Amino acid sequence: MARMTMIEAIRDAHTVAMERDDDVVVLGEDVGYFGGVFRCTAGLQKRFGVERCFDTPISELGIVGTAIGMAAYGLKPVAEIQFADYMYPGYDQIVSEAARLRYRSAGEFTCPLVIRMPTGGGIFGAQTHSQSPEALFTHVAGLKTVVPSNPRDAKGLLLAAIADPDPVIFLEPKRLYNGPFDGHFDRPSVPWSKHPAGEVETDYFEVPLGKAAVVREGSAATLITYGTMVHVALAAVEESGEDIEVIDLRTLLPLDLDTITASVGKTGRCIVLHEATLTSGYGAEIVALVQRDCFYSLEAPVLRVAGWDTPYPHAQEWDYFPGPDRVKRAIATVLEG
């Protein structure tokens, strides 16, 4: 075991995967020589050579498209899109090619590709550096979508994603890279070294895709979330003094519906929380499934707390961001209902 930040854990997952399997290659803007703008790939080029960890021009379509070709013929590319907000030029290749290759070829060709992207806000990135586009991926049959919330999960999930035979979109909440962030922007930040999930196995291990984690047990209501919002949820629950169960989905697709229905079946009340904008967000999917599978257990309408349906603003970020106060309001409402 070793103490790691989320950046170090992701870097370690790359290192372990590249040591185990010569077919794993790493590509993206500034990932090689420079080691990644967030340092997630620092040292890889030095250690594994420029053939296995290499820089690309600023060409997202080209990055994704060439990685698909590599994956279709025996390699296991791990491509970095520098910010999730930059993936749109490559989105066509993700949707039309990566997601569809297996189906289209009746299983003859596959696309074991991982595309990593830092996601989410809380860093004053404004419109083009703060978005949470997960629903654009979960909406596409053929893709798996993962969002870790801590260093240990990040390493284990990334290794599972690299081992997976299908394309995986790996969204890294950039606000969590250096420490858990609970939405209290005005308090000193806590480093991962002081958090239990900053303790990470140093060798190979997987956190299986499609398995949620109950990060806090409770009986009064279920709060379902992922990524940065796991920490916001935990803070809000502590401050509310209520006995709320908190579920960290970890993988959005495949979804661990059993953990969700077991919890809501027990508590009878449910809130879904995400940073992404509300309308047609991933939370809508959870709400639909909960009402179908837990209908007779529900004692109150299922609520959503999410980003407002506006572009991500430069000013007033802390009002826009669904922080602990908004979550606490929803907790009060769902318990009343």
Partner 1 sequence: MATRKTTKKPNVSAEELLSYYRDMLLIRRFEEKAGQLYGMGLIGGFCHLYIGQEAVVVGLEAATKDGDKRVTSYRDHGHMLACGMDPNGVMAELTGREGGYSKGKGGSMHMFSKEKHFYGGHGIVGAQVPIGAGLAFSDKYKGNDNVTFTYFGDGAANQGQVAETYNMAQLWDLPVVFVIENNQYAMGTSVKRATKSPDFWERGAAYGIAGEAVDGMDVLAVKEAGEKAVAHCRAGKGPYILEVMTYRYRGHSMSDPAKYRTREEVQKMREERDPIEQVRGLLLTGDHATEDQLKEIDKEIKTIVNASADFAKESPEPALDELWTDIYAAEIPQEVN
Ligand X SMILES: Cc1ncc(C[n+]2csc(CCOP(=O)(O)OP(=O)(O)O)c2C)c(N)n1
**316 touches which of ligand X, partner 1, none (CB within 5 to 8 A by kind)?**
partner 1
**34 touches which of partner 1, ligand X, none (CB within 5 to 8 A by kind)?**
partner 1
**280 touches which of ligand X, partner 1, none (CB within 5 to 8 A by kind)?**
none
CB 128 → partner 1: shortest distance, Å? 3
Where along the sequence are the contacts to ligand X (CB under 6 A)? 29, 58, 60, 82, 86, 89
CA atoms within 13 A on the CB side of 277: 13
Q: Are 54 and 45 in contact (CB under 8 A)?
A: yes
CB 10 → ligand X: shortest distance, Å? 19
Peptide linkage before 254 cis (omega within 30 of 0) = yes
Q: What are phi and psi of 169, to 5 degrees?
A: -95, 120
Among the listed residues 278, 284, 289, 298, the single contact to partner 1 using CB under 8 A: 278
Among the listed residues 104, 193, 314, 337, the single contact to partner 1 using CB under 8 A: 314
Both structure tokens of 133: 């586009």
Q: Give start and end residues of each alpha helix (H) in 73-216.
A: 88-92, 101-104, 134-138, 151-163
Among the listed ranges 12-20, 103-111, 192-200, 300-308, the one in contact with partner 1 (CB under 8 A) is 300-308
Is 129 annotated as catalytic? Answer: yes
Tell me if 62 contacts partner 1 by CB under 8 A.
yes
Tell me if 280 contacts partner 1 by CB under 8 A.
no
> Whose Cβ is closer to partner 1: residue 65's or residue 210's?
65
> CA 203, CA 235: separation in Å to the nearest integer?
31
> Whose Cβ is closer to partner 1: residue 238's or residue 319's?
319
Strand residues in the chain grouped as ranges (E)? 2-3, 24-28, 53-55, 76-80, 114-119, 144-146, 168-173, 199-200, 213-216, 221-225, 244-248, 251-253, 270-277, 303-307
Among the listed residues 12, 52, 86, 116, the single contact to partner 1 using CB under 8 A: 86
Both structure tokens of 246: 């908190």
Which residues have a catalytic role annotated? 129
